[in-house]
Structure 1
Amino acid sequence: MKVLAIGGSGGMGRAAVRAALTFDFVSEIVVAGIDLELAEDFVASLKAEASATGRIRAIYLDVTDDVSLRQAISEVDVVLNSAGPFFRFGVPILTAAIDEGKHYCDICDDWQPTAEMLKLSERAKQNNVTAVIGLGASPGISNLLCVKAASALDKVDTIVSAWKLSGAVNEDDGFNKPTAEGQVDAAAVHLIHCLSESIQVLKDGKMVETTPLQHTQIDYPVANSAKTKNSVPLDVWSLGHPEAITLVRRFPALQNCYNGMLGINDIVDSLRQIAAAVAAKELSVDDAARLLTEDGGREARQTRLAETERDDIPGILAYAAGRKNGQFATAGAFITNQPKGGMATITGTPQALFLPLLHKGHLQQTGVFAPEEVIDPDVFFELLDSFCGPKGTGLTVLTSS
Structure 2
Amino acid sequence: MRTTQTRTTGPAPQRVLVIGGAGEMGTHTCGVLAGADEIAEVIIADRDIDRARELAATLGVKATPLQLDLTDSGSLKEALGKADIVLNTAGPFYLFGKHVLNAAIEAGTTYLDICDDWEPTLDMLQLDDAARAAGVTAVIGLGASPGISNLLAALAMSGCDTVERAYTCWRANGYPPVPEGTTPPEATAAVVHWVHNLAATIKVWRGGKLADAEPLEERRLAYPGWGEESVWVCGHPEPLTLGRVRPELKESLNVMSSRPLLMEALIKTAGRVRSGELTVPEAANALVAEPNTMGRAAGTAPNLPVLFGLAEGIKDGRPVRVGARPLAVPNASMGTMTGIPLAVGALMAARGEVTAPGVHGPEGAIDPAAFFQLLAEFADQGTTERQDVVEVVSDFIGA
TM-score (norm 2): 0.86
Report if aligned partners of 1:264, 1:305 keep a CA contact under 8 Å in 2: no
More deviation, 367-376/58-67: 58-67
Describe the shift of the 1:68–1:268 C-alpha distance in structure 2 as closer, same or farther (beyond 3 A).
same
Which of 307, 310, 321 is matched with 1:319 structurally?
310
- CA 328–340 in structure 1, closer or farther in 2 if over 3 Å, else same: closer
Q: Are residue 332 (structure 1) and residue 335 (structure 2) matched?
A: no
CA distance in 2, matches of 1:11, 1:242: 21
Give 3-state SS (helix, strand or coil) of 1:30's partner.
strand
Q: 1:65 aligns with which of 64, 68, 72?
A: 72
C-alpha contact (below 8 Å) 1:168/1:343 kept by paired residues: no
Which of 61, 82, 102 aligns to 1:75? It is 82
Q: Which amino acid aligns with 2:99?
A: P
How many residues align? The count is 371
Aligned ranges 1:185-334 → 2 under 5 Å: 185-222=188-225, 231-293=226-288, 301-303=293-295, 308-310=300-302, 313-334=304-325
Change (3 A) 1:253 1:268: same
Match of 1:17 among 30, 33, 36: 30
Aligned-residue offset at 1:305: 7.3
Q: Summarize the Cα distance change of 1:162–1:355 in structure 2 as closer, same or farther, 3 Å threshold.
A: same
Q: CA–CA distance in 1 between the matches of 2:187 and 2:355?
A: 39
Cα distance in 2 between the residues matched to 1:107 and 1:349? 11
Of 56-65 and 347-356, more deviation after overlay is shown by 56-65
Matched-pair contact (CA < 8 Å) for 1:107–1:135: yes
Correspondences of 1:94-109 after superposition (within 5 Å): 94-109=101-116
Answer yes or no: is the 8 Å Cα contact 1:385–1:393 preserved in 2.
no
1:398 maps to 2:355: no
What is the rounded CA distance, in whole Å, between the counterparts of 2:94 and 2:79 in structure 1? 22
Q: CA 1:368 to 1:216, structure 2 compared with 1: closer, same or farther past 3 Å? A: same
- Matches of 2:294 and 2:267 in 1, distance apart? 17
Provide Cα deviations, 1:22-50, integer angstroms capped at 9, x if missing partner: 3212111111222333222222222xxxx
Residue 3 (structure 1) aligns with: 16
CA distance in 2, matches of 1:167, 1:293: 8
Matches within 5 A, 1:379-390: 379-388=370-379, 389-390=382-383
Summarize the Cα distance change of 1:275–1:36 in structure 2 as closer, same or farther, 3 Å threshold: farther
- Is residue 265–residue 287 contact of structure 2 (8 Å, CA) maintained in 1? no
1:355 equivalent in structure 2? 346
State which drifts further: 16-25 or 212-221. Answer: 16-25
Q: Distance in 2 between matches of 1:17 and 1:358?
A: 15
The separation in 1 between residues aligned to 2:232 and 2:362, in whole angstroms, is 23
Partners of 2:175 and 2:288 within 8 A in 1: no
Instruction: Note if contact 2:140-2:359 (Cα within 8 Å) is conserved in structure 1.
Output: yes
Give the letter for the 2:102 counterpart: T
1:167 Cα deviation (Å)? 8.8
- Write the letter of the residue equivalent to 2:293: R
Contact 1:338 1:393 in 2 (8 A): no
Q: Quote the RMSD (CA, aligned, Å).
A: 2.4
Contact 2:259/2:299 (<8 A) preserved: no
Partner of 2:171: 164
SS of 1:361 mapped into structure 2: coil
Over 3 Å counting, the alpha-carbon distance change for 1:306 and 1:151 in structure 2 is farther
Aligned amino acid, residue 185 of structure 1 = T
Deviation for aligned residue 1:356: 2.4
Structure 2: tracts of 5 or more residues without a match: 1-13, 177-184
Hey, what's the Cα distance between the residues in 1 that align with 2:389 and 2:298? 22
Which amino acid counterpart does residue 170 of structure 2 have in structure 1? W
Give the percent of matched residue pairs that are identical in Structure 1 and Structure 2: 38
Native 8 Å contact 1:192 1:289 kept in 2: yes
1:37 is aligned to 50
- Residue 7 of structure 2 is matched in structure 1 by none
8 A contact 2:328–2:375 mirrored in 1 = no
1:351 and 1:305 map into 2 onto residues whose CA distance is 34
**Contact persistence 1:85–1:189 (CA under 8 A):** no
Asked if the contact 1:314–1:335 (Cα under 8 Å) also holds between the matched residues in 2, the reply is no
Deviations 1:288-322 (A, max 9, x none): 3333446xx69x73435786314x63321011111
Aligned partners of 1:239 and 1:259 also within 8 Å: yes
**Cα deviation code 1:212-267 (max 9, x no counterpart):** 11110111102xxxxxxxx5002211111111111110110011110011124322
Q: CA deviation at 1:276?
A: 3.2
* Paired residue type of 2:311: A
Q: What amino acid sits opposite 2:316 in the alignment?
A: N
Q: For residue 133 of structure 1, what is the aligned residue in structure 2?
A: 140
Contact 1:43 1:58 in 2 (8 A): yes
Aligned partner of residue 352 in structure 1, secondary structure: helix
Equivalents in 1 of 2:175, 2:250: separation in Å? Answer: 29
Q: Is 2:120 the partner of 1:113?
A: yes
Alignment partners' CA distance in 1, 2:174 and 2:152: 17
- Cα deviation for residue 86 of structure 1 reads 1.8
Tell me by how many angstroms 1:137 deviates.
0.8
Q: Deviations over 1:307-351 (max 9, x none)?
A: 6314x6332101111122222111100012211422211111111
